[in-house]
Structure 1
Amino acid sequence: MHTAIEEALEKLLPTQQILDQLSEILADWGHEVSVGEEEERVHVAPDTKLELISKSALYTPYDLCFGTGFKVIVAIGGVVELDEKRSHIVPGICFITLWYNKDRKLITTDLSDTIL
């Protein structure tokens, strides 16, 4: 059962739209991402699992950082380890955070080994 918040977020920024956009981004990057402190280049096959981890709406009354908008976290390579007691998730390859403005236009992305 979905909550009203989940339904509203899905209506505003559909998960499939996010995953399709991420697939396009990965193709534009030549199906490679830079992972870790060493910026190691890792190949991401076109059929790699992309798994939504979180989607949130952000309200900022001041024009700080990215302002009002949306933040989405996706596990590239899917989730390979999950420990709900410690709130610990391990991605197959890495996490990507996608930042959208209030008009749902992608602003920027961040790659990370851990959830930002």
Structure 2
Amino acid sequence: MNSVKNRLASALALLKAENRIESASISEICRLAKVSRANVYASHRQMLIEAKGAAAPKNRKSVKREKSTSETDKEVIAELERQVMALRYICFELALELEAERKKSKQLANEIRKESSSRR
């Protein structure tokens, strides 16, 4: 599982849901995804190009048919499911970070105890 790709996809889905993808800068997308721009440009440039390109409607001369309510509902549900997955992923990452911080805290507390007992 590529976490950079997943975080980037989550950030793009969020911006798309908020109708901000067209105006979002690459820096803003990277900050939201918590990834470096260098990594994005090196490994995930095509993903950004597709997302930014898909955001801008193409000039087409063909007449588009109106979407039915069920198609619109399905799209909304699919987008909400993507957002839920993005939030689950973020929660999972935060839980891992919290666990790492707890371990650091315990280690520090043990070091302080050892140091204070050696001074006695």
Class of the TM-score when normalised by the shorter of the 2 chains: under 0.3
Q: Which structure: greater helix fraction?
A: 2
Larger Rg: 2
Query: TM-score, with normalisation over the residues of structure 1?
Result: 0.22
Q: Which structure: greater strand fraction?
A: 1
